[in-house]
Amino acid sequence: MAHFAKIENGIVKNVIVVKNENAATEEQGQAFIASLGFDGDYVQTSYNANFRGKYAGVGMSYNGTCFYGPSPYPSWILDDNGDWNAPTQKPEGNYVWDEESLSWIVAE
């Protein structure tokens, strides 16, 4: 089965499933969806996260490259896989991110 996310203003509004026979390519799947009377922009998403970062879910964002959820902190940086990363690498051990100091601190 192929999965397609409806995108409006960069936000996933819905995810639908299309039989593989109707979606051998993304373009074929999009044409099939349109033939059913569904309007809007549909982008294929991978249930196994094999492409476009994460599997799309309602409310997630799409930037033309990958699907992603909200940032855990304002300072974190989105990578090409849809993962949010701290501006500095987490040290080994039991640390948590402190947004106020923009650093990792020892967890209590």
How much is the pLDDT for 49? 83
How much is the pLDDT for 73? 97
- The structural domains of the chain, with segments of one domain joined by +, span 1-70, 71-108
* Spatial distance between the Cα atoms of 97 and 86, rounded to a whole number of angstroms: 8
How much is the pLDDT for 28? 96
* Spatial distance between the Cα atoms of 7 and 58, rounded to a whole number of angstroms: 10
* Spatial distance between the Cα atoms of 48 and 55, rounded to a whole number of angstroms: 7
Q: Tell me the per-residue pLDDT of 25-54, one tens digit each, with 9 for 90 and over.
A: 999 999 999 999 999 999 999 988 889 989
Is residue 56 within 8 Å of 5, Cβ to Cβ? yes
Say which residue the tokens 């309007």 belong to.
39
Helix (H) or strand (E) holding 29, with range, is: helix 26-35
Q: Tell me the per-residue pLDDT of 85-102, one tens digit each, with 9 for 90 and over.
A: 999 999 999 999 999 999
Structure tokens at 8: 């409006």
Closest C-alpha to 107, from 93, 86, 89: 93
